[in-house]
Amino acid sequence: MSALGKGVVIINVGQGAIIYEKELVECLVEGEIGGAGLDVFKNEPNVPKELFGLDNVVLLPHRAAFIEESFFYCSQLVIANLEAFFGIDHFLLLSLIVE
């Protein structure tokens, strides 16, 4: 992670397990990366205690999905799936999950 450089800011609003938290904490404490914005954590609701006192970290309580744009996008996805299912395009159902 330190190979990313001192100016990089890691943002994770997806899944906590995709980032090695121990390495992230070490890089933040040592100043090897610029900062982090985290909305998810590997072992929620347990957040690494080392993150709380850092000035270069913003912690959120797993709320990034609850914004107007997310609700709009999800509603558009539901409408498109209903139209596909009840229309002739049964094989064009969409998913938010990346395979």
Which residue range(s) make up the domain with 55? 2-59
71 and 25, same structural domain? no
How far is 53 from 22, CA to CA, in rounded Å?
16
Is residue 82 over pLDDT 80?
yes
44 and 14, same structural domain? yes
11 and 45, same structural domain? yes
The region, left, alpha or beta by phi > 0 then psi within -120 to 50, assigned to residue 62 is: left
Q: Given pLDDT bands bounded at 50, 70 and 90, which one contains residue 98?
A: low
pLDDT tens digits, 5-47: 888 998 888 777 778 889 999 999 999 999 999 988 888 888 8
The region, left, alpha or beta by phi > 0 then psi within -120 to 50, assigned to residue 68 is: alpha
Distances 76 to 14, 33, 80 between C-alpha atoms, Å: 20, 37, 6
Please check whether residue 85 is in contact with residue 60, taking contact to mean a CB–CB distance below 8 angstroms.
no
46 backbone dihedrals φ, ψ, rounded to 5°: -80, 120
52 and 21, same structural domain? yes
How far is 76 from 46, CA to CA, in rounded Å?
34
Domains of the chain: total: 2
54 and 72, same structural domain? no
pTM of the model: 0.64
92 and 44, same structural domain? no
Please check whether residue 1 is in contact with residue 24, taking contact to mean a CB–CB distance below 8 angstroms.
yes
* Higher pLDDT among residues 26 and 88, named by residue: 26
